[in-house]
Structure 1
Amino acid sequence: MVIVRFVYIHPFSDGNGRTASLLMNLILMKFGFPPAIVKAANEARLKYYETLELASISGDQAPFVQLIAGCVEKVCRDILVRSNDLKENL
């Protein structure tokens, strides 16, 4: 997975996480998905780092993929709710 490899090699002295998130969202959008919004709340951020580290160290990418898929699913649900709200207000 590109994101896991990118974070693992840590190519920059600063901004690797932000760059990895941008890269991940560009890849998602290229394939027709909305961007994954990983909440900045401590618990969500900790889960993100834990699953990313697990993928980097053990090679088990499933928890990270599931986390990102859940974030994408939430964005999709939010879009549907907002579009329904918009229809009702027209």
Structure 2
Amino acid sequence: MKREDALLNWLQIQVVADARPHDQSALDTSSFFRQLLQEDYQIRELGYRKEGNWYVLVGKTESDEWESRYPAEMIESLLIAIESEPKYNQ
């Protein structure tokens, strides 16, 4: 999996996990992507913040620090889809 794809997947599922702290599937999936990013891309630190209509993803490897921006609509689409599905909200 490409680094950018793994970062985007982690960010989307982490937003879900943060919004649904009792959703074990979201927590497990977030952990999976974090581990993949650590092992395959040596990402040591990873986090995000929301700024208006954007999510800012920040990361650090041993030799590099970086920041990426994603539209909130794109990042929150997974959370909206999950919360719109009645079987996941019982």
Q: Same fold by TM (over 0.5)?
A: no
User: More strand by proportion, 1 or 2?
Assistant: 2
Structure of greater Rg: 1
